[in-house]
């Protein structure tokens, strides 16, 4: 790790970061302490969620060493909160945190014990800083709850790490602080990881090459090709071919030839870049047919992409742990454990070539190539949001980058990613492209947290295996089946294996993937025949609701005791739909929410169609007694057939 980066444990066996001789001063250009309920409760919850066998990175502290003390440039709110937290826990601190020219803040910190004891007679309340006083009250209230386990919390706090990062000498600190607060740029775990991996390389030219590739991959806007900027596109064409769409090499020497780092500028933003008054972000948008401008938005952020790539790397290089009883990486994709995940692989991983720790340079080289190759596959084959012209809604997209024009006049444009074998028509490709979009977007809206988007890892591993043989053969025509099998496994495990004796009554606990995969199947069968649901798109419908309500509006119709939670009576809708929806009768929902239903889940549309009077029976009664069961059997039939459970 760089000598400008120091790993600090908040508390150790015999000390903490505030009871040693290291002093921190908050300069006057920083705002006063301002964290409130939301931030402080989140801090406590983040610490309380830590596994006791794992370290936890809580953020970075940007400092400048001034006359033996550290001037805090960025991170003072978190640092002050940690100081308050330790005191609220009864952990002794020294007066090592001070505010420049803020006497009220310093008086409050010096008298924090009396403040905690509420000894107003010993305090000059006119000298108390209200922001710090409020923070102490919030923390004391949360830590004083009956269910709070102080002993366990302190054990977890001992696993918390903050990285102290020193800015280069002669940095204009006022300018740096201004940039950090107006642009929101700051060093994060992935910045520290970059520095750590680069430190494994002894040659400066290799470090420059590593940085060039890393910086291009770290920008998740657009396609990675567009982040390699050079005179006459020489670097871009050396890596991705003259059409800008070839798979990057897996040979380090090819990159050393392609990228002359002594004359190429990296696309990442260093501290010196950020404080330059002429700093600006380049525009790298491209075009679709008809010269319509387009931009793309990734479904995940870079730290999560690093974790997906690490799992791809582990699969490709057959990395195992020296401790055969434990996994080399966690199942959960936790961006707050990014450094820990890589450290576990580097320090405890083995490949067929031996222990990774014995040749960290090789790991850095092979990982950065894996990162670029995986990013290329991610851009081309993993669904994203596409925005054309001034459209702010966007749509799901699977496109590949190409170029038009010649020489210096080349420009990027995008067209549907190919899923065809040689000789097949463009219309067949468009159909397969649409099918892939629908299946992946179904997965995307089912798993909204980036921590559990394992479907992305699985798809990237399939695309990367055996030197990408699947994308070089007819196997790519079945790519949607790979996505579909992920959904099938989830539906089997989390629905059919849980529902016993033919009773499918999980109610609001029914996994969202069940509804979304069913909608995919309904769309798929319709798409190849009637095209009745051609307007259907997957959206974030994250609320499972009862069509016949659990709690009917008082006095309007009877409660349904025994079957209300059945799958046939359930639908999935957006959370922002009027709350009255839940208590209305089926026929009232059908008429009141006509527009929402017409654009909603396919299952919901079908339920609405089934809601009709029958002879002398009202629609609600007929639904409860008869129609819901027929609907359920039909819907389960689609799912069972797809899951091979018939």
Is 132's pLDDT higher than 70? yes
**Which of 188, 224, 198, 391 minimizes the C-alpha distance to 304?**
188
Share of the chain above pLDDT 70, in %: 90
pLDDT of residue 453: 96
Whether 7 contacts 79, CB under 8 Å: no
**pLDDT (0 to 100) of residue 172:** 62
Q: What's the pLDDT band for 273 if we cut at 50, 70, 90?
A: low
Where helices occur in 469-507 by DSSP H, the ranges are: 479-491
Whole-number pLDDT of residue 390: 72
DSSP bridge partners of 545: 571
pLDDT band at 6 (very low <50, low <70, confident <90, very high): confident
Q: What percent of the chain has pLDDT over 90?
A: 56
Domain ranges of the chain: 5-183, 189-413, 512-642
- pLDDT tens for each residue of 422-451: 888 999 999 999 999 999 999 999 999 899
pLDDT at site 276: 56
Query: What's the whole-number mean pLDDT along residues 526-535?
Result: 85
Residue spans of beta strands (DSSP E) within 2-82: 5-9, 24-26, 56-66, 69-74
Q: Is the pLDDT of residue 551 over 70?
A: yes
Among 45-54, 184-193, 424-433, the range with the most confident prediction by mean pLDDT is 424-433
Confidence at residue 281, expressed as pLDDT on a 0 to 100 scale: 45
Give me the mean pLDDT over the 401-414 stretch: 84
Tell me the pairing of strands 56-66 and 160-166: parallel
- Is the CB of residue 629 less than 8 Å from the CB of residue 568? yes
Query: In which band, very low, low, confident or very high, does the pLDDT at 494 lie, cut at 50, 70 and 90?
Result: very high
388: its two tokens: 């054309």
As separate numbers, helices (DSSP H) first and strands (DSSP E) second, the chain gives 24, 17
Distance of CA 39 to the CA centre of its chain: 20
Residue 296 pairs with which residues in a beta bridge? 386
Cα(190)–Cα(218) distance, rounded to whole angstroms? 9
pLDDT band at 277 (very low <50, low <70, confident <90, very high): low
The pLDDT of residue 13: 83
Chain Cα centroid distance, residue 571:
27
Q: Which residues contact 17 (CB under 8 A, 6 or more apart)?
A: 8, 9, 10, 11, 82, 162
Buried b (16+ CB within 10 A) or exposed e, 310-322: bbbbbbbbebebe
334: Cβ contacts below 8 Å, ≥ 6 apart: 307, 341, 451
What single-letter DSSP state applies at residue 265?
A: P
């Amino acid at each position: 790790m760089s000598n400008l980066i120091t790993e600090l444990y908040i508390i150790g066996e015999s000390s903490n970061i505030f009871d040693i001789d290291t002093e921190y001063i908050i300069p006057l250009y920083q705002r006063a302490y301002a964290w409130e309920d939301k931030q402080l409760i989140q801090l406590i919850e983040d610490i309380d969620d830590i596994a006791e066998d794992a370290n936890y990175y809580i953020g970075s502290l940007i400092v400048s060493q001034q006359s033996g003390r550290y001037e805090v440039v960025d991170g003072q709110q978190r640092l002050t909160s940690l100081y308050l937290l330790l005191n609220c826990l009864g952990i002794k601190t020294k007066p090592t945190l001070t505010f420049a020219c803020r006497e009220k803040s310093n008086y409050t910190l010096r008298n924090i014990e009396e403040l905690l004891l509420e000894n107003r007679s010993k305090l000059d309340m006119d000298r108390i800083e209200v922001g710090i006083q409020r923070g102490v009250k919030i923390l004391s209230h949360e830590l004083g709850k009956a269910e709070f386990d102080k002993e366990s919390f302190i054990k977890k706090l001992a696993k918390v790490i903050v990285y102290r990062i020193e800015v280069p000498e002669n940095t204009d600190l006022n300018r740096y602080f201004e940039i950090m607060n107006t642009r929101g740029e700051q060093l994060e775990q992935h910045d520290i990881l970059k520095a750590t991996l680069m430190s494994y390389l002894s040659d400066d030219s290799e470090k420059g090459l590593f940085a060039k590739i890393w910086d291009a991959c770290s920008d998740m806007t657009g396609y990675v090709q567009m982040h390699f900027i050079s005179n006459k596109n020489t670097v871009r064409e050396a890596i991705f071919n003259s059409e800008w769409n070839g798979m990057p090499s897996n040979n380090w020497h090819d990159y050393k030839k392609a990228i002359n780092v002594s004359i190429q500028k990296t696309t990442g933003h260093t501290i010196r870049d950020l404080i330059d008054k002429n700093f600006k972000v380049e525009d790298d948008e491209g075009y679709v047919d008809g010269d319509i401008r387009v931009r793309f938005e990734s479904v995940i952020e870079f730290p999560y992409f690093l974790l997906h790539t690490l799992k791809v790397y582990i699969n490709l290089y057959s990395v195992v742990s020296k401790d055969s009883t434990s996994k080399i990486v966690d199942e959960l994709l936790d961006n707050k454990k990014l450094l820990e995940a890589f450290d576990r692989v580097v320090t405890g991983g083995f490949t067929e070539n031996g222990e990774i720790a014995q040749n960290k340079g090789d790991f850095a080289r092979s990982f950065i190539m894996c990162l670029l190759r995986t990013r290329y596959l991610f851009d081309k084959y993993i669904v994203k949001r596409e925005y054309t012209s001034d459209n702010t809604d966007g749509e799901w997209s699977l496109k590949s980058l190409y170029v038009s024009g010649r020489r210096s006049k080349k420009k990027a444009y995008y067209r549907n990613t190919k899923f065809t074998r040689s000789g097949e028509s463009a219309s067949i490709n468009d159909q397969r492209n649409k099918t892939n979009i629908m299946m992946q977007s179904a997965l995307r809206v089912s798993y909204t947290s980036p921590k559990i988007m394992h479907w992305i890892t699985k798809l990237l591993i399939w695309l990367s295996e055996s030197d990408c043989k699947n994308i070089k053969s007819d196997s790519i025509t079945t790519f949607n089946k790979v996505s579909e099998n992920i959904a099938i496994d989830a539906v089997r495990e989390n629905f059919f294996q849980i529902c016993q004796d033919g009773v499918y009554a999980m109610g609001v606990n029914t996994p969202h993937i069940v509804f979304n995969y069913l909608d995919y199947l309904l769309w798929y069968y319709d798409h190849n025949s009637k095209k009745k649901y051609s307007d259907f798109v997957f959206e974030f419908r994250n609320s499972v609701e009862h069509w016949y309500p659990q709690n009917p509006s008082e006095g309007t119709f009877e409660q349904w005791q025994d079957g209300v939670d059945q799958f046939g009576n359930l639908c999935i809708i957006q959370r922002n739909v009027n709350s009255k929806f839940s208590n209305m009768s089926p026929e009232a929902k059908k008429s009141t929410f006509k527009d929402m239903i017409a654009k909603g889940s396919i299952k919901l549309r079908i339920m609405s169609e089934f809601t009709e009077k029958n002879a002398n029976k009202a629609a609600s009664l007929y639904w409860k007694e008869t129609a819901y069961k027929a609907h359920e059997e039909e819907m389960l039939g689609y799912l069972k057939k797809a899951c091979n459970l018939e």
